[in-house]
Amino acid sequence: MTRYSAADIEAKWQEAWDKAGIFQATRTADKPKYYVLEMFPYPSGRIHMGHVRNYTMGDVVARYKMSTGHNVLHPMGWDAFGMPAENAAMAIGGHPKEWTYNNIADMRGQMKPLGLSIDWSREFATCDPEYYGQQQALFLDFLEKGLVYRKNAVVNWDPVDMTVLANEQVEAGRGWRSGALVERRELTQWFFKISDYSDELLSALDTLDNWPAKVRLMQENWIGKSRGLQFAFERTDGAEPITVYTTRPDTLNGASFVGISPDHPIAKAMEADDADLAEFLAECRKGGTTAEAIETAPKLGRDTGIRVKHPLNPDWELPVWIANFILMDYGTGAIFACPAHDQRDLDFCRKYDLPVVDTFFALDDSTPVATEAFVPPKEQKVKWVSHFAGLDEATGDEAINATIDLAEKDGWGEGVTKFRLRDWGLSRQRYWGCPIPVVHCDACGVVPEKKENLPVELPDDVSFDKPGNPLDRHETWRDCACPACGKPALRETDTMDTFVDSSWYFARFTAPRAETPTDMAEAEYWMNVDQYIGGIEHAILHLLYSRFFARAMNICGHLPDSAKEPFDALFTQGMVTHEIYQTRDENGRPVYHLPEDVEDGKLKATGEALEIIPSAKMSKSKKNVVDPVSIISAFGADTARWFVLSDSPPERDVEWTAAGAEAAHKHLSRVYRVSAEIAAMDDAATGEDEALLREMHKAIDEVTKGVESFGFNAAIAKLYGFTNTLAKSKAGGAAKKQAAKTLAQLMSPMTPHLSESVWEMLGGTGLATTAPWPVADAAMLVEDSVTLPVQVNGKRRAEISVPKDMDKAEVEKIALAHEAVQRVLNGGAPKKVIVVPGRIVNVVA
RNA sequence: GCGGGCGUGGUGGAAUGGUAGACACAGGAGACUUAAAAUCUCCAGGCCUUAGGCCGUGCGGGUUCGAGUCCCGCCGCCCGUACCA
């Protein structure tokens, strides 16, 4: 008998599948389609266990759907633009393009041995001119429909390197290379008008039944629809009033000051002839652009000297302060502060000694606010100190509505709905991205490039020896003729955010070689993605941008109406985590090391001791990645696939450990060995046949349910159990062969190569991969008797075995008669007996 | 700071409000073997002296006949926070 040799059988079966062409997605009328997609990878150069886990899950779904009679589309591509390629060019020389395509070739080579059921004929990379040229066409269509525009927005500015930094390149407020204190600076940039769709993107979340509730909730909060009051404060100096937006107008009687953002036009106007104030604003603009940096920065404020009148009491004057925690992007960039009921306002008022006035108290506690603001939920009833609408006890919601009504009636304000969602800034001051296809002409202004001139290709002759965008320095590329008037003009040198690339690749997969962005007939057949699988880290941005893009593409005629929500079902897998190994360089900055370079907490090469940082998401920058290639060469792809599915529920994070791989391999060897033994048996029946076949049908039932519900780990646990049953069963050859063939089929989505070999040795017809999925016989799942636990006061005291449909009174009698129950009752009569049929008996003593 | 999630043996984890720890890993004992590997069988949450009992799902409360599961308040960790992908 031959032993299980993954290396031999995996190559053999991959060749057989290839030859049969079974993974090519084809449109036929006789079968329903199924589109399964895993979020495509960034080509870092090495696949890691997170990829293996992600693609194996998708592969299980794809293979299962194939064997249940679907035309399956299961494509793969590369999210190939982005910063790491430029960083590599700067660090080690070479060209981003070469680096990226080499990485893609390497990763494809590492991925293919996994035996995934991918239609490789549809592969593309987002950095292929054929792809990004179509993306430029989309941009021009969006521009025509008014979905793209330009405005100013702040970026991280490194004043030493004189360059824009990504948030990731800002560490503790300093540029990662120069170490200079980062400032916020305004640039004119391109924006997608995603805010046009705020309300629709919000309300359509309700239709996404097969998305995780947590993702829908996160998107809902991100879009952040709020109803509030917008009104203006009259200035005592008669200048233009200051318009504010507030979601808590009911607390207007607790107003302490009016606050404006450091980026507010009033602040900017004053800056010009007030050096002192200019210095203060420069201080406010220090640090990065992230919400976190802004909101956790120490509170800074300055009195502008401007005074405004309270809208409800003209004699009540409020000071106008500039405060660094007020965002220009949200609302009107100006607020009124009510410190008693907002922690940020309170912290600010305590720091600058501004008044704190309570406007309401809890029903049972009238302690004035000291250091903690009183912020009850808006549904909670509170006791009002004084409310201008005459309220005494009312909820926040009631008070807000009353205030808006009052303001509208008296004409000093109006109720407005606002969204937290901002327009999507897509401009990047970088080389390795999709060029924005417009030209700047002195005479004509901003002019779109003509579609026949697409793609606007990136030039290859660039250098990365200086900071900043090489396109800015590339004169022969930058200088061009205006598409409108033909005079000399300048090409836009900003490229697109890489989120643009990933916002429509799923649509492109339906017709990857089309000479328009999509092919309607193909899109209509294959869209939507029936099952999308990816990391929870994409819960908001990528998925929201893709939902916007699907709508925008629909408006431009690139997707059908039915594809406005492009992902029917979403599954967010947990991340693969790993410890981080770090040393420090001479400046005390962290240097990271790959797990394969580490042994016993020391660097293999030098023996230097390492700091071990607890598990975090595997990331290229932290180097805490594990190489699946060594697992595959040692044990085979099936072992790797089996292991990543078996040890952890798919939605949860999994900590990679090498320990389990060997056990998985042992089990697969056992399946192979047991199957070979069974193949050699004669077919005589025994009295054990039925028991085995009953177990087989239970396995079919449970594994099918597991695969359909992403309960892969549970399905695998059942397969372990069924393998044990099969190995120990005294059933005859015919029954055991049937059971073993079924086992092979049930394992096939997870361990396709092993399953083909088992299928073959047991005389299965054709390929196991294309054989119809087994169906459980309901009659074989029914049990005659059932074991019930008996509890007394919620503690288990006994177990009884009764016929499945015995009536409650009879069950109760048997339970009470049990010796252990009698002992606990100690002669007393039970107060109550609860019988849950088929489940449990609970005696209340 | 804000939004979302998670927390169960030595380890990964299982459990429609109904027997907590399935299935594995690591560990222990045994069989086979000259020996080893491989394979097979059995044990295994903690505590108490056994029959048996008590405790036990991050911590503190609550709802329920019954809570890992639902509610309230904490603690810890993870993800996102709009220029990482």
Please give the pLDDT value at position A796. 87
Bridge partners of A480, per DSSP, are: A489
Bridge partners of A232, per DSSP, are: A243
- Average pLDDT value for chain A: 91
Query: In which band, very low, low, confident or very high, does the pLDDT at A386 lie, cut at 50, 70 and 90?
Result: confident
Query: In which band, very low, low, confident or very high, does the pLDDT at A561 lie, cut at 50, 70 and 90?
Result: very high
List of residues 6+ apart from A278 with CB closer than 8 A: A271, A272
φ, ψ for residue A419, nearest 5 deg: -120, 145
Q: What is the number of other CB atoms lying within 10 angstroms of the CB of residue A642? A: 28
Q: Decide: CB of A158 under 7 A of nucleic strand B.
A: no
Residue A212 has pLDDT above 90, yes or no: yes
Nucleotides of B under 7 A from a protein CB: 1-6, 11-16, 18-20, 22-26, 38-41, 53-54, 65-67, 77-85
Query: Would you state the structure tokens that stand for residue A240, as one six-digit string?
Result: 């233009």
Please give the pLDDT value at position A620. 61
Q: Decide: CB of A345 under 7 A of nucleic strand B.
A: no
Closest alpha carbon to C1' of B22, residue: A717
Of A29-38, A313-322, A620-629, which range is least confident? A620-629
List of residues 6+ apart from A7 with CB closer than 8 A: A636
CA distance A355 to A310: 15
For A308, what's the count of Cα atoms within 13 Å in the CB-facing half-sphere? 27
Please give the pLDDT value at position A473. 93
Q: How far is CA A398 from CA A384, A393, A403, A404, in A?
A: 12, 10, 9, 10
List of residues 6+ apart from A612 with CB closer than 8 A: A579, A580, A581, A601
Residue at A14: amino acid letter: Q
Query: Would you state the structure tokens that stand for residue A77, as one six-digit string?
Result: 């591509």
Please give the pLDDT value at position A610. 64
Residue A599 has pLDDT above 90, yes or no: no
Please give the pLDDT value at position A630. 83
Spell out the alpha helix ranges (H) of A762-843.
Answer: 808-817, 819-825
Q: Decide: CB of A421 under 7 A of nucleic strand B.
A: yes
**What's the alpha-carbon Rg for chain A, to the nearest Å?**
33
Query: In which band, very low, low, confident or very high, does the pLDDT at A390 lie, cut at 50, 70 and 90?
Result: confident
Of A104-113, A128-137, A336-345, which range is least confident? A336-345
The order of strands in the sheet holding A257-260 is A301-310, A313-323, A257-260, A334-337
Cβ burial of A831 (10 Å; 0-12, 13-18, 19+) is exposed
Rounded to whole angstroms, the distance from the CA of residue A750 to the C1' of nucleotide B57 is: 31
Q: How do residues A660-696 score in pLDDT, each as one tens digit?
A: 788 899 999 999 999 999 999 998 899 999 999 999 9
pLDDT higher at A361 or A619: A361
Q: Decide: CB of A701 under 7 A of nucleic strand B.
A: no
Rounded to whole angstroms, the distance from the CA of residue A656 to the C1' of nucleotide B13 is: 14
Bridge partners of A258, per DSSP, are: A320, A336
* A162-181 residues near strand B (Cβ < 7 Å): 164-168
Using alpha carbons, select from A527, A709, A747 the residue that is nearest to residue A34: A527
Q: Decide: CB of A669 under 7 A of nucleic strand B.
A: yes
Strands (DSSP E) along A541-689, which ranges?
570-573, 576-584, 590-593, 598-599, 602-603, 611-617, 654-655
ipTM: 0.93
CA distance A295 to A272: 26
Q: Decide: CB of A297 under 7 A of nucleic strand B.
A: no
Q: How do residues A465-493 score in pLDDT, each as one tens digit?
A: 888 899 999 999 999 999 999 999 999 99
Q: Which nucleotide's C1' is closest to A155 (Cα)?
A: B83
Q: Which nucleotide's C1' is closest to A723 (Cα)?
A: B23
The secondary structure of residue A380, as a DSSP letter, is: S
pTM attached to this predicted model: 0.93
The secondary structure of residue A649, as a DSSP letter, is: -
CA distance A421 to A198: 7
Please give the pLDDT value at position A591. 72
Please give the pLDDT value at position A636. 94
Using alpha carbons, select from A772, A769, A775 the residue that is nearest to residue A748: A769
SS3 track for A675-740: HHHHHCCCCCCCCCHHHHHHHHHHHHHHHHHHHHCCCHHHHHHHHHHHHHHHHHCCCCHHHHHHHH
Q: Decide: CB of A379 under 7 A of nucleic strand B.
A: no
A731 with A689: CB under 8 angstroms? yes
* A35-54 residues near strand B (Cβ < 7 Å): 42
CA distance A259 to A327: 10
A610 with A632: CB under 8 angstroms? no
A672 with A761: CB under 8 angstroms? no
Query: In which band, very low, low, confident or very high, does the pLDDT at A581 lie, cut at 50, 70 and 90?
Result: low
The order of strands in the sheet holding A531-535 is A71-73, A33-38, A531-535, A570-573
CA distance A377 to A245: 20
Using alpha carbons, select from A517, A503, A511, A502 the residue that is nearest to residue A547: A503
Query: In which band, very low, low, confident or very high, does the pLDDT at A504 lie, cut at 50, 70 and 90?
Result: very high
Q: Decide: CB of A717 under 7 A of nucleic strand B.
A: yes
Rounded to whole angstroms, the distance from the CA of residue A572 to the C1' of nucleotide B79 is: 12
Using alpha carbons, select from A264, A273, A261, A272 the residue that is nearest to residue A240: A264
Rounded to whole angstroms, the distance from the CA of residue A761 to the C1' of nucleotide B61 is: 62
Residue A167 has pLDDT above 60, yes or no: yes
pLDDT higher at A579 or A716: A716
Q: Decide: CB of A655 under 7 A of nucleic strand B.
A: yes
Answer positive or negative: Cα dihedral of A658, A659, A663, A669: positive
Q: What is the number of other CB atoms lying within 10 angstroms of the CB of residue A97? A: 17
Please give the pLDDT value at position A385. 86
Q: Decide: CB of A210 under 7 A of nucleic strand B.
A: no
Q: How far is CA A576 from CA A39, A48, A368, A579, A626, in A?
A: 15, 9, 49, 11, 10
Residue showing tokens 């005592």: A236
Query: Would you state the structure tokens that stand for residue A478, as one six-digit string?
Result: 């930058």
Rounded to whole angstroms, the distance from the CA of residue A831 to the C1' of nucleotide B12 is: 43
List of residues 6+ apart from A369 with CB closer than 8 A: A339, A340, A341, A346, A356, A358
Please give the pLDDT value at position A113. 95
List of residues 6+ apart from A122 with CB closer than 8 A: A25, A75, A76, A77, A509, A512
A195 with A421: CB under 8 angstroms? yes
For A552, what's the count of Cα atoms within 13 Å in the CB-facing half-sphere? 30
List of residues 6+ apart from A363 with CB closer than 8 A: A381, A382, A383, A393
CA distance A805 to A838: 8
Residue A399 has pLDDT above 70, yes or no: yes
Rounded to whole angstroms, the distance from the CA of residue A341 to the C1' of nucleotide B85 is: 39
Rounded to whole angstroms, the distance from the CA of residue A639 to the C1' of nucleotide B29 is: 30
A747 with A740: CB under 8 angstroms? no
Residue A1 has pLDDT above 60, yes or no: no
List of residues 6+ apart from A534 with CB closer than 8 A: A38, A39, A54, A542, A570, A572, A573
Of A324-333, A398-407, A440-449, A495-504, which range is least confident? A324-333
Q: Decide: CB of A706 under 7 A of nucleic strand B.
A: no
Rounded to whole angstroms, the distance from the CA of residue A614 to the C1' of nucleotide B75 is: 19
Residue A577 has pLDDT above 70, yes or no: no
A191 with A151: CB under 8 angstroms? yes
Q: Decide: CB of A829 under 7 A of nucleic strand B.
A: no
* A583-612 residues near strand B (Cβ < 7 Å): none
Question: Inter-axis angle of helices A96-111 and A83-92, to 10 degrees?
Answer: 110
Rounded to whole angstroms, the distance from the CA of residue A751 to the C1' of nucleotide B25 is: 20
Q: Decide: CB of A617 under 7 A of nucleic strand B.
A: yes
* CA-based end-to-end distance of chain A: 63
